[in-house]
Structure 1
Amino acid sequence: GACAEHRPLNLAAGLSGGVISTLVLHPLDLVKIRFAVSDGLELRPKYNGILHCMTTVWKHEGLRGLYQGVTPNMWGAGASWGLYFFFYNAIKAYKKEGKLESLGATEHLVSAAEAGAMTLCITNPIWVTKTRLVLQYNAGVDPSKRQYKGMLDALKKIYKKEGIRGLYKGFVPGLFGTSHGALQFMAYEDLKLRYNKYRNRPSDTKLNTVEYITMAAVSKIFAVSATYPYQVVRARLQDQHNTYSGIFDVICRTWRREGIHGFYKGIVPNVIRVTPACCITFVVYENVSSFLLGFRKENN
């Protein structure tokens, strides 16, 4: 069908959006993860806030320090966005096969969750290496202290030491994270529909960039607030400096020591990072898609 022809376009559009925004905003990701695991362990540097964290890393380790873990982050983001859009559109097309009416919010939600789970099966090992690299404190100062030299080295060492289980640490909370994507997509699609209805336009009308940015930002902030604690749990499970027996262990220990506040550590740099990232990604995605579709029509 028409949808199947667009799938490589979805993939390309999703990829370019994901990779560009990741590259620009990586330092905020580093800050978020370092805050998320800050449980009072002695070996961790103490930061008073986002700027203090960034300037400290910059002072001690330079630009390289702020961009630790950027390789798996780029690979992970590119693969995640690309595969996610690809699976999401494929699943939607499969469900819509032979149906005249468009899919409802629940079907969008389920499709998005399925796409997220399929994507995570492929990308989880990349995210583990990202967390490990980001949490190599002062690796820029003294390279000999560096446990992992880079993404491939980390993948090899984690597999050797911890087996396949090591590479899939944080997988279950990661699945909750796919609900984040699902919630965001559902909110995004719903906002677009309601907005076009409110403006008395057909539901698939192309919006302008400001409208896309607003929809993307609102849907993103909603999704982040609803699902942030899973990111803390996941980062702590993947952290090499602390050992937890599992999800419940993380939840109990975090709750006991840090209360509800512990589950929202790092949410501010996260919102600052993901909202523009998401807006960039959606705007690039919507525009690259329509550009490629237009280009294809001209060539046909």
Structure 2
Amino acid sequence: MDADGRNIRIIEWDDLDKRKFYTFGILMTMSIRATVYPAALIRTRLQVQKGKSIYKGTFDALLKIVRAEGIPGLYRGFLANSFTLISGQFYVTTYELVRRHVSTYSSNNAVKSLVAGGSASLVAQTITVPIDVISQHLMIQGKGSGEMGRFRLPQKVQERGCFHLGGTRAIIVQIIKVDGLRGFYRGYIASLLTYIPNSAVWWPFYHFYAEQLSNHVPAHCPHLLLQAIAGPLAAATANVVTNPMDVVRTRLQVEGGLSILETVRSLLDEEGAWGFAKGLSARIISSIPTAIVIVVGYETLKKLSLRAELIDSRCW
């Protein structure tokens, strides 16, 4: 147990070799995004469709997409989405720096995590939203996806495949023609209302669950195992809290035209309160492996990035 009573030692910003941290971090982030992208695509299509007009649920969507578009269909928009690697690095940097700053005012781990998580999302979403707007329009293109969204790719672009950048250029041109540059920030406020609470909730619950688990298992139980269990629990908690606004955000970014309140009213009129739960199962299902990969990857990343003089001097 460390000095402030925690059973799980947290590696802080000052403990890291920043060059190793960023090099390993980019590789880890790209691997995670490639793993979870199909679930994100399925969630987006479920949230955008009217009722159950095309897909009955998560697994039905998976089967129909694979049958109609093949495995590459699950990766529509992936090249455009990969630019979120930039926002990912800004996220972790902001999180660690704000956490360090808050520690000068409070030693409470939940407070540090909440403030740092919310701040990190604010910075990251400012970079991510334009990329999300483009990639989500690409996600809903496909043979079996019907007429979702406002923009359609030309047939010759569709035939070039999911990994061709022609689709990205076509969507960018259409957004600029219809909405101007402001179109790339459609749903920005909804994104902040989704991801700031999500991040602010995830980190405190992650540390809370990890510490509670550590109090109920044998002392020799690996910390990484406890963290790998705590991550999915925290993700499920955050997903339930933020899914209603995530549905609103997705609709705003893909369909356009409505304000947040108008989108909420429209969803209530069309599908009732259950409409705000659309895509929740896909989020939770994807959050389990995602959270495990993120937690194990991030904690391992920090261990690999320890400053040389600290590697053997402390027990992590």
The residue number in structure 2 matching 1:36 is 47
Quote the Cα distance in structure 1 between the aligned partners of 2:156 and 2:167.
13
Whole-angstrom distance in 2 between the partners of 1:192 and 1:50: 29
Matched, 1:217 2:232: yes
Percent identity for Structure 1 against Structure 2: 22
After TM superposition, list the pairs within 5 Å mapping 1:1-300 onto structure 2: 3=14, 6-40=17-51, 46-76=54-84, 78-97=85-104, 102-138=107-143, 143-144=155-156, 146=158, 149-176=166-193, 177-196=195-214, 207-239=222-254, 242-293=255-306
DSSP 3-state at the match of 1:293:
coil
Residue 207 of structure 1, CA deviation: 4.4
Matched position secondary structure for 1:138: coil
Work out the CA distance in 1 between the residues paired with 2:63 and 2:33: 20
The TM-score, its normalising length taken from structure 2, stands at 0.80
Measure how far apart 1:154 and its partner are. Answer: 2.9
TM-score by length of 1: 0.83
Residues 14-42 of structure 1: per-residue CA shift (max 9 Å, x gap): 443332122122222111111111115xx
Structure 1: tracts of 5 or more residues without a match: none
2:257 maps to a residue whose letter is Y
- Asked if the contact 2:64–2:144 (Cα under 8 Å) also holds between the matched residues in 1, the reply is no
1:181-205: CA deviation from partner (whole Å, max 9, x where unpaired): 110011112223344456697xxx9
**CA shift digits 1:227-249 (9 cap, x unpaired):** 1111111110111xx34321111
Please identify, of 25-34 and 54-63, the stretch whose mean Cα deviation from structure 2 is larger: 54-63
Contact map agreement 2:32 2:290 (CA 8 A) in 1: yes
- Conserved 8 A contact 1:125-1:155: no
Structure 1: how far apart are the matches of 2:144 and 2:26? 30
**Is the alpha carbon distance of 1:297 and 1:107 closer, same or farther for their aligned partners in structure 2, counting shifts above 3 Å?**
closer
**What 5-or-longer segments of structure 2 have no aligned partner?**
1-11, 146-152, 160-164
Counterparts of 1:196 and 1:188 in 2: how far apart (Å)? Answer: 12
Given that residues 11 and 83 in structure 1 are in contact (C-alpha distance below 8 angstroms), is that contact kept between their aligned partners in structure 2? no
Partner of 2:150: none
Higher helix share: 1
| Deviation, structure 1 residue 108 | 2.4
For 1:208-244, what per-residue CA distance to the aligned partner results, in whole angstroms no more than 9, with x for missing partners? 33212111011111111111111111110111xx343
Cα separation, 2, equivalents of 1:153 and 1:207: 49
Conservation of the 8 A alpha-carbon contact between 1:13 and 1:284: no
Instruction: Give the letter aligned to residue 155 of structure 2.
Output: P
The Cα of 1:160 is off from its aligned counterpart by 4.1
The whole-number CA distance in structure 1 between the counterparts of 2:109 and 2:38 is 38
Q: Deviations over 1:103-139 (max 9, x none)?
A: 4423421221111101111111001111100111329
Contact 2:248 2:263 in 1 (8 A): yes
Cα offset, 1:83, TM superposition? 1.6
Contact 2:13 2:97 in 1 (8 A): no
CA separation in 1, counterparts of 2:80 and 2:308? 32
State which drifts further: 9-18 or 111-120: 9-18
Q: Residues 16 and 184 (structure 1 numbering): CA distance in 2 closer, same or farther, change over 3 Å?
A: farther
Give the counterpart letter for 1:83 in structure 2: F
Length, aligned pairs only: 289
Alpha-carbon RMSD: 3.2
Q: For residues 169 and 182 of structure 1, do their structure 2 counterparts lie closer, same or farther at Cα, with a shift above 3 Å needed?
A: same
> Contact (CA 8 Å) 1:68, 1:133: kept in 2 or not?
yes
Deviates more, 1:171-180 or 1:66-75: 66-75
Could you give the per-residue CA deviations for residues 75-116 of structure 1, whole angstroms, max 9, x where no partner exists? 22x33432211101111222334x6x6244234212211111
Distance 1:276 1:174 in 2: 23
